[in-house]
Amino acid sequence: MKPLSRLSAASDLTLGLIGAILAVAAWEISARTGLVDPAIFPSPSLAIRAAAERLTAETVADNLFWSLLRVFSGFLLGALAGAAVGIAAGWYRGFGAIARPLIELLRPIPPLAWIPLAIIWFGLGEPSKFFIIFLGAFFPVVTAAYQGMRSIDPMLLKAAQTFGLSGVPLLLRVAVPAAAPDLATGVRIGWGLSFGVLVAAELIAADRGLGYMIINERNTGGSVGVIVVGILLIGALNLITDAAIGAAIKRWIGRWHGA
Amino acid sequence: MTRKLVQALPPLAAFTVLLLLWEAGVRYGFLKPYQFPPVSRIARGFVELSTTGFPTGVSIWSHALTTILRVLQGYGAALALAIPLGLVIGALPVVDKLTAPLIVFCRSVATLSLLPLVIVWFGAGELTKVFLIGYGCFWVMLSNVIAGVRYVDPTLVRAARTFGLKGLELYRSVVLPAALPRIFAGARMALGVGFMVIVGAEMIGTIEGLGALIMEARTFYRSEITIIGMLVIGLIGFTISAGLMALERAMLPWAGNLDRVRR
Amino acid sequence: MSQSPVMERRSPDAGVEGHGPAETAFIRIDGARKVFTQRSGGAVPVLDNVDLAIAENEFVSFIGRSGCGKTTLLNMIAGLEDVSAGRIAIAGKVVTGPGQGQGVVFQQHALFPWLTAVDNVAFGFHKSGLAKAERRRRALDLLALVGLEAAAGRYPREMSGGMQQRVSIARALALDPQILLMDEPFGALDELTRIELQQELLRIWEARRKTIVFVTHSISEALMLSDRIVLLAPNPGRIKRIFPVDLPRPRLRTDPGFNALYQAIWNELST
């Protein structure tokens, strides 16, 4: 069975490529033949031409830079804080008993709903965006880290204890690696959420970044083509960064964990 | 019973202490009441919201209802489209492979980034919001339905084949039930996406709905109303998600640990 | 029809290398090969030129190391996998797919998790055209046969491994198949449950007159159960040797004949 599935892996890519090309072709044709009004949904070629006319590479690079800086910094700190709190809540019962209910209380609130409060607390500048993206990463990671800690096979801990490990060394050398697969899932989800939150925050209150770039184009009555290119750019960025994080996770735990 | 009470005591105590510190911090001037409205003010705000409303005439319940209706419309439409489509795509490996990268990309497109484009299409009204919710829910649901159908335990399919089942019959009596847990998991994920999207969508170009309420309240320096709105959003999301879990448990009594169906 | 093969089964020439007595061969495997194609285009032979004849009502075990193709061979008899070359026939009819009188019990119980025990067994009557009530009645009878009538309403996850495998056997018996194909059915069970189910299986085999093909990793399990033990070797999978087991039943592990055969099979497996 295994050789068969490898056989299909090659054709998967080809078929997927064909599918993607077909989809782009269908889009192009429907806009060219007037099936869809190019003024509201331009074909890919028109959109790219419009974008090339109205945007300089410098503008795009500048907005891209700000978006990436925001999402990476917010995500990094949010994920680190989430992992630390989640691991501590899973390891130290007393801390867990107090921290968990508070987290569970706040968790159902979507990160975007924090935007007004973030502005009240931190003003309209960068810190409020950072805070929202931080939350987007924090909640999935803290939940996953806690669950990972709670579902560690107790035999692993006992086995380590027979070698005299206890306290912080036991936590760092056995418990955290054992919880790593769950933690990794949370990190992946957290990245997706952070990214979605970034775009929303930039749409709602920002003066630079990719989200700002497209909403500004719309507010100034610019070209729909630019908006379409911007959307695709954000999508591609999300896809690439997600794949990169997936690959990094695989390098981290893939050698001993199946997924 | 008493054990549960004892277990609930430390978090309750911690929570109460936190609220008291907060209240005291405001009274003694350490915290600005605008930034950290004390509990007493939040309580008064809640009374105002449920009677007079904010803006005047629109109570918190009516905001909540608006939001829920928007989410349900987009969510319902997404499910109605994604489930049948996913069941078909999942059953046809070639179609699945053709569409896989496309679906991954469409899922990666940040839903709210579509907002400027969708406003061009449908204006800034209801349809735009419902469309955005629908978009976000649709791709999450679709990929989960396809995965559910594709990754059915092959031994189950083999077992059914030994009894002569094939084609549509095999699909209906084995593949479909086996895919249900994953489909339900997808429905729960999609709902989360829906609530995420609606809050963002309501912050732009509307004054009705909970997202609009919390944003409006901020511009009027009514931070206590913002906080109430946030809590209500969280409560609604929590309730609906718990409802879905209960529905799942009732409909799939055979699926043991539902959290484990995540892949 | 069911009398003489029992005699044949015990006849000394039943264990002749490769072939059983031709006229009584119920399952007949002639030059069967299985080749998997790789992505690079290369072909991996999994089974090479297998000849085997199994008599009606015979109990045959396949034993061998991982990768010797024993499960593949079983799946080919079940009609779940194609034969790359050669042919497999049951009662003179070439196997083209499942549903030609083969009941299969899988390694992992393969019960449908959304069906209760009785509904899982009743699933076996899917194509029978019987009324629903009748299916249920027969399913309950089969559950009684494996001693599980009390657990009829339980879902698979609510049953122990041994119970799950009993339900799985009952389900395989639903269409009263002439052949029962079992792929390491007791491999995941604890020793006590395993011995219990082995005895149960022998009881059912004797009561219902089935031809059983049984894949196992365990020499003693094969010795406890089988009329003949077919030893397969890997790279590519092929029949290395066939051991007739002429020990009277019920068999005892302490029997000197048992131990002699155990040693002989072990020697063959480890070279």
Domain boundaries, chain A: 47-253
Contact C37 A3 (CB under 8 A): yes
Is residue A78 within 8 A of residue A190, CB to CB? The reply is yes
Neighbours, chain A (3 or more CB pairs < 8 A): B, C
> In angstroms, what is the C-alpha Rg of chain A?
23
Whether A7 shows a pLDDT value over 70: the answer reads: no
pLDDT tens readout for residues A114-170? 999 999 999 888 999 999 999 999 999 999 999 999 999 888 888 888 888 888 989
| Interface touch A218/B120, C-beta < 8 Å | yes
C-alpha–C-alpha distance, residues C268 and C271, integer Å: 6
Q: What is the DSSP string of A138-204?
A: HHHHHHHHHHHHHTS-HHHHHHHHHTT--HHHHIIIIIHHHHHHHHHHHHHHHHHHHHHHHHHHHHH
Q: Give, in degrees to the nearest 5, the angle at Cα C260 between C256 and C263.
A: 135
Of B11, B214, B262, the CB nearest to A98: B11
Among B138, B144, B146, residue whose Cα is nearest residue B109: B138
Residue B107's pLDDT band (boundaries 50, 70, 90)?
Answer: very high
Judged against a pLDDT cut of 60, whether residue B258 lies above it is answered with no
Mean pLDDT over the full length of chain A:
89
How confident is residue C243, by pLDDT bands cut at 50, 70 and 90?
very high
Cis peptide before C236 (omega within 30 of 0): yes
Confidence bin at C151 (pLDDT 50/70/90): very high
Judging contacts by C-beta atoms under 8 Å, the chain B residues touching residue A12 are 97, 100
Question: pLDDT tier at C21 (50, 70, 90 boundaries)?
Answer: very low
Note the pLDDT of residue C20: 45
When comparing pLDDT for B1 and B248, which is higher? B248
B97 vs A12: CB contact, 8 Å cut-off?
yes
Q: How far is B161 from chain A (nearest CA, A)?
A: 17
The tokens describing B248, both together, are 């799942």
Q: Which residue of A has its CA nearest to C81?
A: A1
Q: Which helix (H) or strand (E) holds A53?
A: helix A44-54
Q: Tell me how far apart the alpha carbons of residues C236 and A119 are, in angstroms, rounded to a whole number.
A: 70
Distance of alpha carbon B57 from alpha carbon C27, whole angstroms: 83
Is the predicted pLDDT of residue C97 greater than 90, yes or no?
Answer: no
CA distances for B194 relative to A114, A202, B120, B190, angstroms: 16, 19, 21, 6
Per-residue tokens: A166: 């206890």
Whether B42 and B169 have beta carbons less than 8 Å apart is answered as no
pLDDT of residue C10: 39
Q: Which of A65, A36, A42, A66 is nearest to A54 (CA)?
A: A42
Q: Residue A32: what pLDDT?
A: 85
- Using a CB-CB cut-off of 8 Å, the residues of chain B touching C104 are 158-159, 162
Tell me the residues of C at the A interface, defined by beta carbons under 8 Å apart. 36-39, 44
- The reply to whether residue B111 touches residue A196, judged by beta carbons under 8 angstroms, is yes
Q: How far is CA A239 from the centre of its chain?
A: 9
CA distance C104 to chain B (A): 7
Q: Does the structure show a pLDDT above 80 at B3?
A: no
ipTM reported for the complex, 2 dp: 0.88
Answer yes or no: is pLDDT of A108 > 80.
Answer: yes
Nearest to B197 by CA among B133, B126, B109, B107: B133
pLDDT tens per residue across span C101-126: 899 999 888 899 999 999 999 998 88
Full set of structural domains in chain B with CATH: 51-261 (1.10.3720.10)
- Give the relative orientation of helices B223-251 and B39-51 as an angle to the nearest 10 degrees: 70
The pLDDT assigned to C183 comes to: 94
Q: What is the pLDDT of residue A5?
A: 46
Annotate B161-198 with b (16+ C-beta within 10 A) or e (fewer): bbbbbeeeebbebbbbbbbbbbbbbbbbbbbbbbbbbb
Reduce the DSSP state of residue C154 to 3 states and report it: coil
Beta strands C179-183 and C102-105, pairing class = parallel
pLDDT score of C18: 43
What's the CATH code, domain A47-253? 1.10.3720.10
**How far is the C-alpha of A51 from the C-alpha of A39, rounded, in Å?**
14
Judged on CB neighbours under 10 Å (0-12, 13-18, 19+), C99 is middle
CATH dotted code for C4-101+177-270: 3.40.50.300
Tell if the CB–CB gap between C37 and A9 is shorter than 8 Å.
Answer: no
Inter-chain residue contact C113 with B173, CB threshold 8 Å: no
Alpha-carbon distance values, A84 to A77, A78, A141, B15, C190 (Å): 10, 10, 9, 21, 41
Answer yes or no: do A238 and B97 touch at CB < 8 A: no
Shortest distance, CA B163 to any CA of chain C (angstroms): 6
**pLDDT tens-digit profile of B145-192?**
999 999 999 899 999 998 888 889 999 999 999 999 999 999 999 999
CA distance A172 to chain B (A): 26
Q: How far apart are CA A28 and CA A23, in angstroms?
A: 9
pLDDT of residue C159: 92
Please indicate whether, in this complex, the C-beta atoms of A7 and C44 are within 8 angstroms of each other. no
Q: How much is the average pLDDT of B2-7?
A: 75
Nearest to C80 by CA among B73, B208, B100, B161: B161
The DSSP line for B194-212 is HHHHHHHHHTSS-SSSHHH
Confidence at B78, pLDDT banded by 50, 70, 90: very high
For residue C240, what is the enclosing H or E element? Answer: strand C238-244
The answer to whether the beta carbons of residues B148 and B90 sit under 8 Å apart is: yes
Question: What are the tokens at B116?
Answer: 């400027």
Q: pLDDT tens digits for A46-90?
A: 888 888 888 888 999 999 999 999 999 999 999 999 999 999 999
Smallest CA–CA distance, residue B228 to chain A, in Å, is: 11
- Residue C39 binned pLDDT confidence (cut-offs 50, 70, 90): low
Cβ distance of B162 and C172 shorter than 8 Å: yes
Q: What angle do helix axes B2-27 and A93-106 make, rounded to 10 degrees?
A: 70
Measured in residues, chain A has a length of 259
Q: How confident is residue A175, by pLDDT bands cut at 50, 70 and 90? A: very high
Select the residue of C99, C110, C157 nearest B159 (Cβ to Cβ): C110
Closest listed residue to residue C111, CA positions, set B185, B164, B162: B162
Report yes or no: A91 and A171 within 8 Å, Cβ to Cβ: yes
* b (16+ CB within 10 A) / e for A118-134: bbbebeeebebbbbbbb
Q: Report the residue of B103, B112, B198 to disrupt the A interface, i.e. the one with the largest count of A CBs within 10 Å.
A: B112
Q: Say what percent of chain A tops pLDDT 70.
A: 95
CB pair distance less than 8 Å for A196 and B110 = yes
